[in-house]
Every structure is written in structure tokens, then in C-alpha cells.
Structure 1
Amino acid sequence: MTEIGRGTFSEETFFEQVGGEPTFRLLTRRFYEGVAQDELLRPMYPEEDLGPAEERMALFLMQYWGGPRTYSDRRGHPRLRMRHAPFKVDKAAHDAWLTHMRAAVASLELPTELEHQLLDYLVYAAASMINTPG
């Protein structure tokens, strides 16, 4: 909490604590650099350019962590499982996704507590996307 006036405190969002939009843009750029080279994950992105997927993820993560609501304004409710349903997401895809995401998060060099908080969510989110046994 930060004092903004005598006896008045303001709670910073996670979004603000990690550096806001530039941090989430960097995170998603680095993640998709890994995805672009991944033989398992790349085919799950039918667009020739990964830019639109990168933009969607950046907007989603910013909104989730307390930033602007641009994702919902443009796309409605996230419905992550529904949006991923057309793709075979098995344990191997889950592991590959997390490998690239962990590397992207590590590259941000966030304070340990914030890094763990972000990774905890991403591990949970990755597990919830699995829709195919194996």
C-alpha cells in the first residue's frame, strides 16, 4: 500500500506492481518467440503471423491482473476453455506451453514474490486448458 494523502492508502494492482502494459507486452513477445520455434505448439496457431495471438494474450493478461478491460471490450468474456477447445491440448502441449512461459517470465527479472504469483496463475491456467488425455 502506498500513502496518497494523510491517512489515505491506495492498493496497487499486480498489473501496476510489475510495471504495467510494457511488462505484459514483453512477457507475451518473449513467450511467442518460443512458440514460433516450437514444432508442437506452432501448428495450434493457424494465423501466419503470431501477432494477433500475442495481442490477444497480452490484453487478456493485462486485464486479468488489474489493467485495462480492453480484452473484454473487444472480445467479450474470456471463455478460455471454450476458445481452446478446437485444439488438442494434452500433457505434452501443456508442458511445452509452460516451458516457453516460464522462460518468458524469468526473462522479466521480477521480484521473487511477484514472479511466483504470476507463475502460480500460469501453471493453474495451463492445467485447466488440457482437453485431451495423454
Structure 2
Amino acid sequence: MNRNISLYEALGGAETLRLIVESFYPKVQAHPLLGPLFPPDIDPVIEKQYLFLTQFFGGPSLYSDKYGHPMMRARHLPFAITPERAGAWLDCMRRALQEVGIDETLQKIVIDRLTGPAHHFVNTSEEET
């Protein structure tokens, strides 16, 4: 990846990021560990994820402009996030990136970038679920 452009730009900007998020959430909804954590009307969640990932990957600060500081760990505290669920979330993202046709090198960079936050949100052990 060219070090002079953001991950957002390397992925293809708004259009590609929208495709990724729209490919990702059906996988999340269908996953037995993840689906029950999400509301039936997934559209607002998709929109927030799009805004957040745009900003997280170096694009415009859409999420902060609309909702303020992301405070993502705090926003996830009401949900039982286990290590297994974090891994499942990352797997759904990996499959979405593949489905959209993201270059393998970029896929690895995206997953590496999301792995830390995904595991940072863990707030429940497997035994507690």
C-alpha cells in the first residue's frame, strides 16, 4: 500500500467502503453468536458502521461530525462481547472483504487494523455467557 494515501483511499473510498459494510452485516445477522446482538432493523447500524469505518480508515470524520467522539468501547459495554464473538466479527469482516474483491494485501491490513479494537471490546469471558 502506498504510504502517502489513507487506508480509506486504498480501499476505494466511500463507494467501496459502502459495499464492504453492506456485505458484512448480512453475515453478522446470520451468525449464531452475533445475530442476536443486533436489532431486526439493521439499517441504522449499517449507517453508523459506514460512518465509523470511513473515519477509522482515514477518510472524512463523518462519525465524529454526527455523533461526537466514537467512544467505541463504552458503546459496546451493554453487549456481552466474548473473545469468540470478537473472532466471529472479524471472520465476518474477512469474508465481506473477500466477497467485495478487496486485494489480499489490503484485506490483511484491514483485519490487522480491526483486530486490536475487536479484542479491546471484549468484556465477557466465554464462561459468563
TM-score range, shorter chain: 0.7 to 0.9
Q: When you count strand as a share of all residues, which structure comes out higher?
A: 1
Gaps of 5+ in 2: none
* Alpha-carbon separation, structure 2, partners of 1:90 and 1:36: 17
The TM-score with structure 2 as length reference comes to 0.88
**Runs of 4+ deviating beyond 6 Å:** none
Matched residue, 2:33: 40
Gaps of 5+ in 1: 3-10
**Where in structure 2 are the equivalents of 1:21-36 lying within 5 Å?**
21-36=14-29
**Per-residue displacement from partner, 1:108-133 (whole Å, max 9, x unpaired)?**
32233322111101222211111111
Q: When you count helix as a share of all residues, which structure comes out higher?
A: 2
Matched residue, 1:16: 9
* Alpha-carbon separation, structure 2, partners of 1:111 and 1:67: 19
Q: Between Structure 1 and Structure 2, whose CA radius of gyration is higher?
A: 1
**Per-residue displacement from partner, 1:54-111 (whole Å, max 9, x unpaired)?**
1111110111112111110111111111000000001221122122111011223223
The SS at the match of 1:63 is helix
Matched residue, 1:7: none
Identify the match of residue 96 of structure 1 among 78, 88, 106: 88
The SS at the match of 1:98 is helix
Matched residue, 2:99: 107
Q: How many residues align?
A: 126
Identify the match of residue 62 of structure 1 among 24, 37, 54: 54
The SS at the match of 1:39 is coil
TM-aligned CA deviation for residue 19 of structure 1: 0.6
Q: Give the share of equivalent positions with the same residue, in percent.
A: 38
The TM-score with structure 1 as length reference comes to 0.85
